[in-house]
Structure 1
Amino acid sequence: MQQALIEKYGEARLPRYTSYPTAPAFSPAVGAGTYGDWLGGIAPQTEASLYLHIPFCRSMCWYCGCHTTITQRDEPILDYIDMLRKEVGLVSGTVGDRLRIRHVHFGGGTPTIMQPEEFRDLIWLLRARFAFMEGAEIAVEIDPRTLTPDMAAALGEAGVTRASLGVQSFDPVVQKAINRIQSEAQTADAVARLRAGGIGGINFDLIYGLPHQTTASCIETAKTAIAMRPERFAVFGYAHIPSFKKHQRLIDERALPDAAMRAEQAEAIAATLIAAGYVRIGLDHYALPQDSLAVAARRGRLHRNFQGYTTDACTTLIGFGASSIGRTPDGYIQNEVPPGLYAQRIASGQLATVKGYRLTAEDRLRADIIERLMCDFRADVTAIAARHGFDAAALFEGNGRLAALQEDGAVDVHGGVVTVRQDHRFIIRAVAAAFDAYIETAARTHSKAA
C-alpha cells in the first residue's frame, strides 16, 4: 500500500508550500510602487522579520537549487553589500519606525563569504534602522568549509543566535559526485568555533536522493552528524531540475536513486535521528525536545515560511537583496533575481521589486489550511473557514484531489477535519495541494514531492 502511494503521489511535481500562493503565481503587476504603498501602510508596532540574501559562493555545489554566483574575488561582494545597505536605507526610510524586529535570517549563497567587519557593520546598520525586540533571533547559513575563526567570533559578537550548517552527506563518493568535498573534521571544527563564540543554536542540513547515495551511507552520515549534537536537523530530498539549474546537468542522472529508494533513505535518516533523541517535526525537520522548534510543534504553534519550519509567527517579512522574497499583510513581493539588475534598481534610488502577488481573502483562508496541514498533518477546515468568514463546504465539494486521497486511504475526513496518517506523512504536499486553487498551473515548475 505504501509503495503504491509513493508511486502515485511521492514523485508528483508539487510546491514545498513555504508560501501560499507559491512563487509561480507572482506577477509583474505588483512592482516597486505597489511595494512602497504596502510598506507605507504597515501599522505601527508591527512585529516583523528580516531576510537578507547574499548570493555568492566560492565554488558551485552541483546539487544546489539556490540563486547564487561563483566568485573568487571580493570586489563583487563588496559592491553588492553597498547596494544591500542602500536598500536597507530605502526600506527603513519608507516604513519608518513602525517595525519591531523579532527574527533576522541571512541566507545564500554563503552569507559568511563576507569579511567579519562587513558582517558586523551590516548588523549594526540593521539595529540602527529598525527596533530589535529583546531576545530577537538572528540566524545565519554557513558553509563549514570556509568558516574562519575570526568570522565565527564576529557572528557571536554581532548577536547571532542560530547557525545553519550545510552538511548534506559525509560519504566521500557522494561528495565527489556533487562537487562538495567536506570532511567530518571541518564540520566539527566549525561547530566548536560557533559554540565558543556563544552561538547556542546549531542546525545541520542533510540531503537524501543524491547520486550514488545509499541507505547505509545516509544512516552513517546521520550518526556522524548526531555525534556533534546540533539542536536541529533539516533533511531534504534532492530536487533534480536541470532544466532550471543548468549546473545540475553535471550530475549523473543514472546514479540517482529511484522513488522507492529515496523514501527508504528518508525514513532511515528519520529513524536514526529519532533513536538518538530528536523529535520529528513537520515533513523534514528534527529537533532536540527542549529546542524552541520542538516546543512550538508540541503546542500547535509551528509555522512555515521561506526558511522552512519556524517559530516565526510574523506576517510581515522584509526581504533584502537580489531574488529575495518578502511579505506584508497585503501580499508577496520579490526583488530582481540577477545581482546586476538588482544593483541597478537600488543605485537609481528605486525599490528592487520586480514581481509579487496581492492576497485575497480566499488566499488567506487557503494559506491557513495549508500551513496547518504542513505543520500539524491535520487541519480543522470547518473551524478555519469560519474564522475567515467562509463556508467550508465549498472547499470539499468537487475536490477531486482530496477525494482521491480519501479513496486511497491516505487521509481521513471527519466533521470537516482533514487528518493525514503518520505513516503517510511523506505525501503531505499532495494533501496540501488539494486546497491549492492554483495547482494546475503551478505544479509544472516545482520540484518532485519525495
Structure 2
Amino acid sequence: MQADLIERYSAPVPRYTSYPTAPHFHAGITPEIYASWLAALAQDATISLYLHIPYCDRLCWFCGCHTKHTLRYEPIASYLEALFAEIDWVADQLDGKGVVTAIHLGGGSPTMLSAEDMARLKLRLSTRFTISPTAEISIEIDPNDLGEDRFDAMAAFGLTRASVGVQDFDPKVQRAINRLQSFEQTQHVIDSVRARGVHSVNVDVLYGLPYQTLTSIEQTIAKTLLLAADRTALFGYAHVPWMKKHQQMIPDEALPDIQERFAQSQLAARLLTEGGLHPIGFDHFARDSDSLSIAARNNKLRRNFQGYTDDGADALIGLGASAIGQLPQGYVQNITPTGDYQKAVLSGTGATARGFSLAPTDRLHARAIESLLCRFDIERRDLEAFGPEGAALFDYALDLAATDPDGLTQADADRFAMTDLGRPFVRAIAARFDSYLTEGKARHSLAV
C-alpha cells in the first residue's frame, strides 16, 4: 500500500463507541434527568448492566482506562459500598421495570474483588433487579494473582464469558508496558474458567506498542491462536499521554511509526484470519460459531462503549465511577473521581456528572456511522427512514464516493460502501459523517 495513503488517512479520529462521542457530553444532563429517563423505560425493557471497578494492583502503562493503583483492599471495600448504594438508587428509579439480559464487570481489574465480595455483589444485583436466567455475564480478567477461590467465585457469580487481556507475549514489550504475563499464566486462566462452564472466551491483543516488531507480532499471534479463544480483539495502542500521565513512562522513540504500525495491524489481521477467525468490523475476529459472528451475518452487530457487541438490550446502564450508560433518550456518564462518586451516591443522589440528549439529527448521523463501522456500508433506505435529512445525508455519501481520489469508497443509487482498499481506514471515513468533529478541543488516537 502506498505510504502516502497511510499517512493521509491515519490522522487521529474517535473510535466511535458512541455518537456524539464522550468529549461532547455536557453537564446539562443531571441526576434528575437521568432518573426520568430510567423511569420512562418500558415495563418489559431489556437491560444490560456495566459495573466499573476502577482499581488495579499494578498500573499497566499502556492503559487508557479510568483506574487507580492500590495494594490495599480497604479502598475497594469502601468503593463497593458506594456501588451498592448506586445499584439501589437506579433500582428505585426503575421501580421493578425491565429484565437484565447482560452483566459486564470491567475496570480496572474486577477480579481484585474478594470471593466474598463478589458473592455479595451478585446477591445485591439479584435482589434489586430481575435477572434473566439466560443472561450473558462477562468479566475482564487480569491473569496475574488469581487463586482458585476467585475462579470459583466467578463461577458462582454465573460467569458465561471471560475477557482476558493478552496485549503481547514478548518479554521486552511486556516490560516496556509494565505488564509481565506469561503464556502459561494466560492459558491457565482460560483453562480454569472453561473448566467451570464458561462457554466463550475473548482475548485482547494490541499492536503499536513500544518495541513491537513484525516478528514479535507474528510470534504473539501464533501463541494467541494456541489459546483457541472464541473472539480476539485487535486494538491499536492509543498513546494519549496528555490524558493518561502514566503513559509518559513509555518513551515516544520506542513506538513504531505510522507505516510500521499499519503493517503490524495488517499482519496480525491476516494471521488471525488464516487461523480460522472471521473479521468482525475493523478490530474484532471471531469463530464461525461465536455469537458475534452470528450477529454480523444476521445484520444485528452493534457498537457501544464495550466495542462491537451482539447485545441488543434496550438500555445500557453504567454503574460505578466514570461509567457510561446509553438509554433511548441519550447518554449519561457518572462522576469520575472515586472519592466524589462515593460521596454523591452515599448521600442518596445519583452520580450523573454529564451526558447528552439525542436529537433526531444525532440519531441519523449515529445510524450512518454505526452502519459503516459494523457493515462497511450505508444503505439509502436506512437513512431515508429519517426523512428528508436522511436523504440529504445519503446524497452527501454519494458525493464522497464520486470525489474519492483514492478509491476507498464506492456507491450506487442504493448503497455507499468501503472498498477492500478502504476498509482499514473506515474510522477516517466514518469521521466524515461526524458533524461535531471540529467542535471543541478533544484529542484522539490514530485512525490506524
- The RMSD of aligned alpha carbons is 1.6
CA apart distance, 1:13: 1.4
Q: Which residue of 2 aligns with 1:343?
A: 342
Write the letter of the residue equivalent to 1:448.
Answer: L
The CA deviation string for residues 96-146 of structure 1, in whole angstroms up to 9 with x for no partner, is 111111111111000010001211221121122111223110110010012
Q: Which residue of 2 aligns with 1:91?
A: 90
In 2, Cα distance between equivalents of 1:423 and 1:201: 32
CA apart distance, 1:393: 4.0
Q: Which residue of 2 aligns with 1:394?
A: 392
TM-score by length of 2: 0.97
Structure 1 pair 400/438, CA: closer, same or farther in 2 (3 Å)? farther
Tell me, what secondary structure is at the counterpart of 2:373?
helix
In 1, Cα distance between equivalents of 2:92 and 2:120: 19
Structure 1 pair 311/430, CA: closer, same or farther in 2 (3 Å)? same
Write the letter of the residue equivalent to 1:281.
Answer: I
In 2, Cα distance between equivalents of 1:339 and 1:314: 28
Write the letter of the residue equivalent to 1:7.
Answer: E
Q: Which residue of 2 aligns with 1:277?
A: 276
The CA deviation string for residues 234-289 of structure 1, in whole angstroms up to 9 with x for no partner, is 01000111111111111011010011111111111111111111111101001111
Q: Which residue of 2 aligns with 1:114?
A: 113
Structure 1 pair 424/329, CA: closer, same or farther in 2 (3 Å)? same
Q: Which residue of 1 aligns with 2:445?
A: 447
CA apart distance, 1:3: 2.9
Tell me, what secondary structure is at the counterpart of 2:20?
coil
Q: How does 1:49-448 map to 2 (within 5 A)?
A: 49-380=48-379, 382-396=380-394, 402=400, 406-441=404-439, 444-448=442-446
In 1, Cα distance between equivalents of 2:330 and 2:346: 25
The CA deviation string for residues 51-76 of structure 1, in whole angstroms up to 9 with x for no partner, is 00000000111111000010000000
Write the letter of the residue equivalent to 1:41.
Answer: A
Percent of aligned pairs with the same amino acid: 44
Q: How many residues align?
A: 448
**After the TM superposition, which of the residue ranges 311-320 and 390-399 deviates more from structure 2?**
390-399
In 1, Cα distance between equivalents of 2:374 and 2:77: 39
In 2, Cα distance between equivalents of 1:179 and 1:436: 36
**Does the Cα contact within 8 Å between 1:63 and 1:240 map onto a contact in 2?**
yes
CA apart distance, 1:422: 2.5
**Does the Cα contact within 8 Å between 1:83 and 1:346 map onto a contact in 2?**
yes
Write the letter of the residue equivalent to 1:138.
Answer: I
Structure 1 pair 405/309, CA: closer, same or farther in 2 (3 Å)? farther
CA apart distance, 1:95: 0.7
**Does the Cα contact within 8 Å between 1:374 and 1:428 map onto a contact in 2?**
yes
**Does the Cα contact within 8 Å between 2:364 and 2:390 map onto a contact in 1?**
no
**Does the Cα contact within 8 Å between 1:60 and 1:179 map onto a contact in 2?**
yes
**After the TM superposition, which of the residue ranges 183-192 and 50-59 deviates more from structure 2?**
183-192
Unaligned runs of 5+ in 1: none
**Does the Cα contact within 8 Å between 1:13 and 1:444 map onto a contact in 2?**
no
**Does the Cα contact within 8 Å between 2:384 and 2:391 map onto a contact in 1?**
no
**After the TM superposition, which of the residue ranges 434-443 and 56-65 deviates more from structure 2?**
434-443
Unaligned runs of 5+ in 2: none
Structure 1 pair 424/403, CA: closer, same or farther in 2 (3 Å)? closer
The CA deviation string for residues 312-345 of structure 1, in whole angstroms up to 9 with x for no partner, is 1223111100000001111100000010010010
Q: Which residue of 2 aligns with 1:8?
A: 8
**Does the Cα contact within 8 Å between 1:240 and 1:248 map onto a contact in 2?**
yes
In 2, Cα distance between equivalents of 1:392 and 1:111: 42
The CA deviation string for residues 365-398 of structure 1, in whole angstroms up to 9 with x for no partner, is 1111111110110110x21122223443422566
**Does the Cα contact within 8 Å between 1:2 and 1:424 map onto a contact in 2?**
no
CA apart distance, 1:430: 1.1
CA apart distance, 1:408: 2.1
The CA deviation string for residues 137-192 of structure 1, in whole angstroms up to 9 with x for no partner, is 01100100122211111111211110101110000010011111111111111111
**After the TM superposition, which of the residue ranges 319-328 and 425-434 deviates more from structure 2?**
425-434
**Does the Cα contact within 8 Å between 1:28 and 1:354 map onto a contact in 2?**
yes
In 2, Cα distance between equivalents of 1:174 and 1:142: 20
Write the letter of the residue equivalent to 1:385.
Answer: L
Tell me, what secondary structure is at the counterpart of 1:406?
coil
